[in-house]
């Protein structure tokens, strides 16, 4: 859909580029088959590039593409505030 903005893309870009945010204080929890509990967590400061349908992140020394539909939750680790929670998955 042309012109439709993705709220997850906007949120991640805001966390990474807006000087009012510290990416080290935010964590992205996502579905990762084979991981313990089928989820993994990464700090938002590991995000390299945000695309239209997902993002690239430095995970275990490699660049990994994580599609937005796998994101379970985005939260501030300092305050505990949840900025995004998927309706499909529960933490």
Digit-by-digit pLDDT tens for the chain (91 residues) are 444 678 999 999 999 999 999 999 999 999 998 888 889 999 999 999 999 999 999 988 999 999 999 999 999 999 999 999 998 765 5
Task: Name the one residue in this structure whose structure tokens are 């964590």.
Answer: 27
Complete DSSP assignment for 12-64: HHHHHH-TT--GGGEEEEEE-TTSGGGEEEEEGGGEEEE-SSEEEEEETTEEE
Q: Where are the domains of the chain?
A: 7-85
Which fold, 7-85?
SH3 type barrels. (2.30.30)
């Amino acid at each position: 859909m042309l012109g439709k903005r993705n709220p997850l893309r906007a949120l991640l870009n805001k966390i990474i580029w807006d000087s009012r945010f510290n990416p080290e204080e935010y964590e992205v929890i996502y579905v990762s088959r084979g991981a313990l509990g089928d989820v993994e967590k990464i700090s938002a400061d590991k995000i390299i590039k945000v695309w239209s349908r997902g993002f690239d992140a430095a995970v275990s020394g490699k660049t990994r593409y994580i599609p937005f539909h796998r994101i379970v939750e985005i939260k501030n680790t300092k305050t505990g505030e949840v900025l995004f929670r998927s309706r499909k998955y529960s933490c």
